[in-house]
């Protein structure tokens, strides 16, 4: 029974705790996943805005340098060699100018070129002999617009296996005519990808038609993304994104982890197949669901608490019940002197009623704490010094004394004669009130009377206790007479 009480409570706590954990965790993960998939589009747009703002700042800086004396002097030099030297010096100056942290970028530009009005390179930085005379109109789509309209522009240039973010601005002479252009390009490096990834809170990759160009991710994730983007089922989406049609959020398992991504083309990358991927680690962004683990810990504490409390309560209940069972078994086996002595709040009343029932079946009146005989119906009557008066009302007198004539007469009877007369009187009294006594054999009656007498002798410290039959109304009682 103890185990049943404890196991039942433990099962309930476990079911409630485990069920709550599963429901809360599932709901949290589902909601966080939904928010991630819905929000990654906004994060992709956030990067696009950052890209445009960064490109606009770059174009503004190039425009500032295009109007500087060093750049304009390159176009006023006489002779090809002198013009090239001045253009090289101007490109070097522009490169140093952009390295100033105040310009927003700490690294050196990958390329700075001074271009003539036909779109050919006059000179570039780092090497005065490289790219001289190279036509760029077809390589750099925005260059044609700059030379035609005179405005500064930013864009993307795929140059010698490098993917560059470029700013281009027109160079004008003193009369305001366009005489050439200045181009500054920065490599879309891993460092740049990490810088932008920190801004949007997700991983960022720059991609080309057939491969990933740079990334903020670890190498193993980059390799996994490479395989996913350029093979089914994501390859068609990658091609469409490079042509200007961004994908919907997609999911993939990369390097053993689940990711959510979105692919789109780089803004202002006309004529160049260049795009980017915003990649979110699904586990990191649904980590909040792990707060549901607290339910498991609380459930564990609850199980421990219920086990301890259940053990204590079950003992408080079962030990008295077991004691009652032993006492009742003793009564069944003939121990008429045994009475239940359970005094707990929960079972004390039951114990008292069982004792009353035993007294009823044995025909023995139970005594209260003042020595008064309590009938099976709950009333009481006393044994007075002058002997009982069957017609009297209950009183509060004490036990019969040894010098009482009635007590002396009972004490003088031989034991065999006393028990025979008591049985005869009891049977006659029971029959007079219409009760059946066929189930009260003499041997069993005497055995129980002896047991009760021994109990009362011990209780009152008396020499002996004998009983007499009293009938009050239709109630037959065996009233003890205590003899000291």
Average pLDDT over residues 371-385: 39
Chain segment 271-329, per-residue pLDDT in tens: 889 999 999 988 887 777 677 788 888 888 888 988 888 888 777 777 888 888 888 88
Write the CB contacts of 478 (distance below 8 Å, at least 6 apart in sequence). 362, 363, 364, 365, 422, 426, 449, 467, 468, 469, 470
Instruction: State pTM to two decimals.
Output: 0.61
> Contact 106/115 with Cβ under 8 angstroms?
no
Average pLDDT over residues 370-381: 42
Which has the higher per-residue pLDDT, 283 or 144? 144
> What is the pairing mode between strands 162-172 and 380-381?
unpaired
Superfamily of domain 67-187: PAS domain (3.30.450.20)
Take residue 473 and report the two structure tokens written for it. Answer: 């109304």
Domain boundaries defined on the chain: 67-187, 345-483
Euclidean distance between CA atoms 433 and 471, whole angstroms:
9
Chain segment 110-119, per-residue pLDDT in tens: 999 999 999 9
Phi, psi of 24, rounded to the nearest 5 degrees: -65, -45
CA distances from 451 to 247, 314, 354 (A): 97, 33, 18
Give 381's Cβ-side CA count (13 Å radius): 24
> Contact 357/350 with Cβ under 8 angstroms?
no
């Amino acid at each position: 029974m103890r185990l049943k009480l404890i196991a039942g409570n433990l099962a309930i706590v476990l079911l409630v705790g485990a069920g709550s954990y599963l429901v809360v965790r599932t709901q949290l993960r589902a909601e966080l996943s939904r928010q991630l998939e819905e929000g990654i589009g906004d994060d992709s747009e956030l990067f696009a805005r950052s890209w445009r703002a960064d490109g606009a700042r770059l174009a503004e800086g190039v425009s500032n340098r295009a109007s500087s004396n060093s750049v304009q002097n390159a176009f006023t030099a006489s002779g090809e060699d002198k013009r090239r030297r001045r253009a090289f010096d101007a490109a070097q100056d522009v490169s140093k100018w952009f390295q100033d942290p105040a310009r927003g970028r700490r690294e050196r530009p990958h390329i700075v070129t001074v271009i003539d009005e036909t779109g050919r390179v006059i000179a570039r930085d780092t090497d005065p002999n490289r790219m001289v005379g190279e036509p760029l109109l077809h390589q750099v789509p925005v260059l044609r617009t700059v030379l035609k309209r005179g405005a500064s522009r930013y864009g993307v240039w795929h140059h010698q296996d490098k993917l560059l973010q470029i700013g281009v601005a027109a160079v004008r002479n003193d009369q305001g005519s366009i005489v050439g252009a200045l181009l500054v390009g920065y490599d879309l490096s891993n460092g740049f990808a990490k810088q932008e990834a920190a801004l949007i809170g997700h991983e960022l990759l720059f991609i080309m038609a057939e491969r990933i160009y740079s990334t903020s991710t670890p190498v193993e994730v980059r390799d996994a993304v490479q395989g996913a983007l350029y093979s089914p089922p994501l390859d068609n989406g990658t091609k469409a994104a490079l042509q200007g049609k961004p994908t919907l959020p997609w999911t993939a398992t990369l390097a053993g982890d689940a990711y959510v991504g979105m692919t789109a083309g780089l803004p202002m990358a006309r004529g160049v197949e260049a795009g980017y991927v915003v990649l979110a680690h699904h586990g990191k962004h649904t980590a909040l669901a792990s707060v549901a683990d607290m339910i498991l810990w609380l459930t564990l504490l609850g199980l421990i608490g219920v086990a301890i409390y259940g053990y204590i309560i079950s003992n408080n209940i079962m030990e008295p019940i077991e004691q009652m069972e032993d006492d009742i078994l003793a009564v069944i086996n003939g121990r008429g002197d045994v009475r239940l002595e359970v005094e707990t709040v929960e079972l004390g009343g039951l114990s008292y009623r069982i004792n009353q029932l035993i007294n009823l079946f044995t025909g023995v009146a139970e005594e209260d704490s003042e020595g008064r005989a309590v009938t099976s119906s709950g009333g009481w009557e006393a044994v007075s010094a002058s002997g009982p008066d069957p017609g009297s009302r209950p009183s509060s007198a004490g036990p019969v004394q040894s010098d009482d004539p009635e007590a002396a007469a009972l004490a003088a009877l031989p034991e065999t004669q006393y028990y025979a007369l008591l049985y005869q009187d009891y049977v006659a009294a029971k029959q007079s009130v219409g009760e059946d006594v066929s189930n009260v054999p003499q041997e069993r009656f005497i055995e129980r009377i002896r047991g009760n007498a021994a109990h009362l002798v011990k209780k009152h410290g008396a020499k002996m206790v004998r009983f007499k039959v009293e009938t009050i109304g239709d109630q037959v009682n065996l009233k003890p007479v205590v003899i000291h």
